[in-house]
Chains A and B, each alone.
Chain A
């Protein structure tokens, strides 16, 4: 691989561009493919196959050839509401699991760079913050404040946009009350049931990193269930 190709791969990854690396296994030559782009040189006759691999997000060798393709898809976007203690551990886990995290918290004393050195916290109310975040059914929401003023608008947004994972921290009682409020706001039972509350899989742990682990485990599991 040419160092220029490697540099381009790293650049594409950091700017969240989806792409594929196409390698000729016979001579080690490689090219970066982006959707809509024409391949050049020896690769041009494999344009269609490369596009097909890219569409199916697969890695592998094109049949009866020496061309290897590795696709890079954008990481899943995870929005955390509440820059709380658990969120600090979620950020750590998410880094190695390659989720793309945004944290929203309107409370300035939580949203400090000292608590989250590697991440810019969106210091706004959820309604305001969501105006600048593109979300869809491939987005996940983790609501951690258990304060209805902050969590509820975020949950409502996530339900309307059909996020594939919605989790909300809080006891069974807190969650019952939350469900009632959402019902009063006009959401259906089916929608409300899609919220994971109390959040996380049962690991038995009570500390902040243990709760973060149970949340991230549930998130990973739901990511591959869809």
Chain B
């Protein structure tokens, strides 16, 4: 059996919109290997870079926020981004767990 362990991120998205914030939804749409969060996991980001929820165990959230801010700036509707295993470059964001995830960004309008 399953329960709907809904983290109520979309409820929060609607609250943000009601207070005139711009909201980008970031959703895990695909995973490969041992990714930290399952498909359907979400976070939301506003135009100030505030965020709630998660798409990984804290590994890629910073990069997702940056991408969301770009989406708002460029006024694009949606974008898909992929994260793979982190390589040796310390500046590159990646998943230490060895998994891969695809995250879908979309503006609420």
The size bracket of the interface on B is 20 to 34
* Interface size, chain A (Cβ < 8 Å): 32
Chain A residues, Cβ within 8 Å of B14: 6-7, 10
The complex places the Cα of A226 from the Cα of B106 at a distance, in Å, of 36
Contact with A along B56-100 (1 / 0, CB 8 A): 000000000000000000000110100000000000000000000
Q: How far is the CB of B9 from chain A (nearest CB, A)?
A: 11
Which A residues lie within 8 Å of B104 (CB)? 23, 25, 68
B77 and A27 form a contact (CB under 8 A): yes
From residue 1 to 34 of chain A, which have CB atoms closer than 8 A to chain B? 1-3, 6-7, 9-10, 13, 23, 25, 27-28
Judging by beta carbons under 8 Å apart, are B1 and A226 in contact? yes
Cα A137 to Cα B47 with chains together (Å):
46
> What total count of A-B pairs have CB within 8 Å?
77
- Report Cα–Cα, A93/B11, bound state, in Å: 18
**Cβ–Cβ < 8 Å partners of B38 in chain A:** 59
The interface residues of chain B lying within 8 Å CB-to-CB of A1 are 25, 106-109
User: Are A76 and B3 in touch, CB under 8 angstroms?
Assistant: yes
Does chain A have a CB within 8 A of B6? yes
Of listed A1, A3, A7, A164, residue having the most chain B CB within 10 A = A1
The reply to whether B107 and A6 contact each other, CB–CB distance below 8 Å, is no
* In the complex, chain A residues whose CB is within 8 Å of the CB of B106: 1, 23, 28
Q: CB distance B29 to A61 under 8 Å?
A: yes
Partner of A223, one of B1, B25, B77: B1
Give residues in A with beta carbon < 8 Å to B. Answer: 1-3, 6-7, 9-10, 13, 23, 25, 27-28, 57, 59-61, 68, 70, 72-76, 97-99, 138, 164, 220, 223-224, 226
Q: A28-B107, A76-B3, A97-B5 are in contact. List 10 more A-B contacts (CB 8 A).
A: A3-B109, A6-B10, A6-B14, A9-B10, A13-B10, A23-B106, A27-B78, A60-B29, A73-B2, A75-B6
Can you offer 23 A-B residue contacts whose CB atoms are under 8 A?
A1-B25, A1-B109, A6-B108, A9-B10, A13-B6, A25-B104, A28-B78, A28-B107, A59-B38, A59-B40, A60-B30, A68-B27, A72-B6, A74-B4, A75-B4, A76-B1, A76-B3, A97-B3, A97-B5, A98-B3, A220-B3, A223-B3, A226-B1
